[in-house]
Every structure is written in structure tokens, then in C-alpha cells.
Structure 1
């Protein structure tokens, strides 16, 4: 990992089943730090497919990594997870957005601001955020789908410029968008 990323936030984004989580896990392992995995998923024993996905993530993680579950209180988990020189791996922002989809626009903006503050207040930690890319296809037919797409897309866009590295994982490759891309001024 590049020297400038040692104490920085890294964003790993891409479509479903692209390898985002595996790339983020690799970055966390290569950090050489104590890793705290912050899981945003809520378990649902009635959904066998969802539980199998959670189990696959758990099985890939080394036993010495600690795990914190933060389906809604991600900001607090980031602010309080581990002490000192740690690597926080947050998987995933899309699930966190889905868990908070019922918030009003004002409450959602406030939560995003708190998340950004929590990230800035962890200077000794490396934070790796996994986020899904949505909106690369058709516009969702339902309002809740459009709201999710817009909130996650807006959050990822706000995070990208603040990150030391932003990776797009697609087709089995991770591309460093900070090195290859051109920033879009807002």
C-alpha cells in the first residue's frame, strides 16, 4: 500500500459481486495493523440467502480480526472502535444507507455530516470503506429505490474527494481512481 495511505481513509466501490469486500480485506491485511471489521448488516434468520452472504464474509475474515456490528450507528462505531493505530474496515455503506432509508432528508443529511466528522476525527486510524455502486442501469421504478440510489450515490461522491485512495473494483480488477481519474469540481 502506498505511503500516503497509511493513516488515511480509503474508499472501495463497485458493483455487486465484483470483489469489493475481498479487495478491502486485502488492503486491511496489508496495513499491518490490528483490524476492526465494522459490519453494517442486520442478521435475518428468515432470509437464508442473506445469512449465507454474511457467513461467507465471516469465513473469509482472519480469526484475530475483531468485529463490531453497527447496522445504524456507524458514526459511533468508527469513533469508538479500537484505540491507537488500527485499521477499521467498514462493510458496507450501502447496507448502512438501506438500514436508515426511512430517515427524513434533514435527518439523513445530519447522519452523513456525523459520519464525515467521525472519519476526520480518527487521524491515527486507517479506515477502509466499502460501498456499492448503484445507478449504472435503469432508473428504479419505485420511489424507495430511487431514494436509496440517490442517497448512496451522493454519499459516495462526498467521500471520494476526502479519501487518500478510491478504488473501483470491476471485472476482477481494482482501479485506483485517484491516480487514473480526474476530479470533478462541485
Structure 2
């Protein structure tokens, strides 16, 4: 039975297996699935990765390519499907940044310092809030995939640090609203939050 407004958050490092596991998970949530792809392929490597993702998805899934207006896409398809997979939050934030502030793609240290970083953060995180609200109000279950980018070294360039901080805050916002949160490590999903456990004052952190 579909649970209205259920939000599941799946995060992990690059090549952790998070997308593959999220696809397996959402396949168990319903037969009618919408795959919201946020990627804009910018080079041959990204094109090849997109093809791999496309080939392993079931043919009956509805694919919606939406690099920017993801919240609206959720609202548009929710009544037609049982579950929605958004892959991924990471690339969506990149798209939002470069669409609203194209100068960031060419900015050097001095130019970054002159930008209103608080304005940028409020703009991007406001869109994250809209997406979370759309997911929670959806008639379909929603699974969001993202990357953990704060576990490595501090980026050596200003845009990298700005992006890392934004994604970290966005991940926190989604996780706080989610009913379930999974961290995928080496292909293994670790449940780190479950709504029932939270209500009972228990801790997650068990393998599933």
C-alpha cells in the first residue's frame, strides 16, 4: 500500500552503490515508478554514465528529465505513479547554482569573495525546501538520492567549498524531513533513521 507523503533519503559517496540500491528499493515500493533525472550531460564521460543508468532501469518506468524544476515535476507526476525516484540532489544543486549564477563557473578567488554568498545560499536552499514540501505532500512515495561530500579533504578552491557547504546543508534538510534515511557504503545500505524508531526514542544504525 502506498504511503502518502513518505520520503526516503539515500546518500553515500561516489561509486558507493547508492543509485543502484535506490533503484532496487523503489522497485519494491510499486510497479508504477517515475524516475526524475536531474543530470545534464556535459561531456562524453557523463553521457556514458547516463546510458548505463538508462539501460538498467525497467522499461515500464516513466523517465522525466528535469534539471531545474524538480519540485514541479514531482507535483506533475505524483498522481500517475506509486513511487518517484529523484537522482540526484547533488547534480540538481549544481544546475541551480550555475543557472542562477553562471558567473560562478568562471569565478576566481577574488570574484567569489565579492559575491553575496548568503544570498546564494538562501536562494538554493529555498528551492530545497520547496522540493521537500512537494515530496511530503505527494500522493506517491518519494526516494531522493544524494552524495556525501563532506567526508574528504577540504576543497582547495572557493567554488568547491561553497558547493560542499551547500550540499551538506541541503542533505541535512532532506534528512530531517525524511521518514527513512540510508547511508550506502560499498554497496551496503545502513539504515540511520526510521520514523518509527525516532518516535519510540530508539536509534537506527542497523544493517538492512
TM superposition shift of 1:106: 3.0
Q: Specify the alignment match of 2:55 in structure 1.
A: 59
Q: 1:66 to 1:85 in 2, by over 3 A?
A: closer
> In 2, are the aligned partners of 1:24 and 1:130 still within 8 Å (CA)?
yes
Q: Secondary structure at the match of 2:79?
A: coil
> In 2, are the aligned partners of 1:36 and 1:65 still within 8 Å (CA)?
yes
Matched, 1:10 2:8: yes
**Count of residue pairs the alignment pairs up:** 176
Among candidates 8, 26, 48, match of residue 44 of structure 2: 48
> Any gaps of 5 or more consecutive residues in structure 1?
none
Q: Specify the alignment match of 1:32 in structure 2.
A: 30
Q: Which has the higher helix share?
A: 2
RMSD of equivalent CA atoms: 1.8
Query: 1:43 & 1:151 partners in 2: Cα distance?
Result: 22
Query: 1:67 & 1:82 partners in 2: Cα distance?
Result: 13
TM-score (norm 1): 0.88
TM superposition shift of 1:84: 5.1
Q: Specify the alignment match of 1:129 in structure 2.
A: 144
Matched, 1:138 2:153: yes
- Deviation string 1:145-172 (CA, Å, 9 cap, x unpaired) is 1111111110111111211110100022
Among candidates 119, 126, 150, match of residue 110 of structure 1: 126
TM superposition shift of 1:81: 1.5
